[in-house]
Amino acid sequence: MQDALRLLRSSPWSARFGMFVVLFYVFMATFAPVLTPYGESEIVAAEYEPWSSEFLLGTDNLGRDMLTRLIYGARNTIGIALVTTVLAFLIGSVTGFLAATLGGWTDQAISRVVDILMAIPQLIFALLILTIVGTAIPVLVVVIAVLDSTRVFRLARAVAMNIVVMDYVEVARLRGEGLWWIMRRELLPNALPPLVAEFGLRFCFVFLLLSALSFLGLGIQPPTADWGSMVRDNATLITFGDFTPILPAASIALLTVGVNFIVDWFLHQTAGLKDE
């Protein structure tokens, strides 16, 4: 605990700002029902009510409270993006370690499948698949996780390829240790720092992709609150000089910046660099 506090005190202002942003968003997502004055999909007034003491951020195109939708959007968008990123890392890291450890035809087969998936732009591929199979949340999570796991696979395989040739891995093989033991006890601990850093970056990309899909109408579906769809539903206000639709977009940008600040600091720490 003391080491963690000492490390936090020595962190740069950018990392502290990132941690504050992430903790603030986690707080909003966790206590959304307590923090919001109305229900997530409750129609409380006429559409496009201006900012007032009753509706701090006005109402949306259906008369729902924008502040309530914004807070619930944090819970839905961040929660789904986090689950998707975890699933993508499970798929990508396991297949990457398998390809590096087994080599040969296993490596070639998995790598060629990944090449095919990566050859098509991710957003276009996601739009095509979701148009065919539907946009239910479990389907959305699986589709984005599979597509994003290709990037994780590339990193996991590249890192593991440098580890499997080490002497301690050869010793483990000579001892008769199994494939899963080697992956769990030898590869994973040594590959963890770059994978953790990549997790933060992948979360941002998944978060942005999910918001983009929702903006296009194939992401999180109404009446569930989502920042991407909130921008789309209230874009009309921009033509009247009202910047309310920018608030969900600004929330997306702020979280992305905060996570990247933390990732940069973590990479700096794990690389063993020292500030002058």
Q: What is the pLDDT of residues 208-254, one digit of tens each?
A: 899 889 888 888 888 888 888 888 888 888 877 788 888 988 998 99
Domain with 68 in it: 16-270
3-state SS track over 83-111: HHHHHHHHHHHHHHHHHHHHCHHHHHHHH
User: Is residue 122 domain-resident?
Assistant: yes
Which CATH number goes with the domain that contains 168? 1.10.3720.10
What per-residue confidence (pLDDT) applies to 150?
93
Residue 3 has pLDDT above 80, yes or no: no
CB count, 10 Å around CB of 20?
12
User: Is residue 218 domain-resident?
Assistant: yes
Q: Tell me the whole-structure pTM to 2 decimals.
A: 0.87
- Per the structure, the count of domains in the chain is 1
User: Is residue 103 domain-resident?
Assistant: yes
What per-residue confidence (pLDDT) applies to 276?
45
Q: Do 158 and 195 touch, CB atoms closer than 8 A?
A: no
Least confident of 220-229, 250-259, 262-271: 262-271
Residue 274 has pLDDT above 60, yes or no: no
User: Is residue 128 domain-resident?
Assistant: yes
Q: For the segment 71-122, what is each residue's pLDDT rounded down to a tens digit?
A: 999 888 889 999 999 999 999 999 999 999 988 899 999 999 999 989 888 8
User: Is residue 153 domain-resident?
Assistant: yes
Amino acid at 107: D
User: Is residue 3 domain-resident?
Assistant: no
User: Is residue 6 domain-resident?
Assistant: no
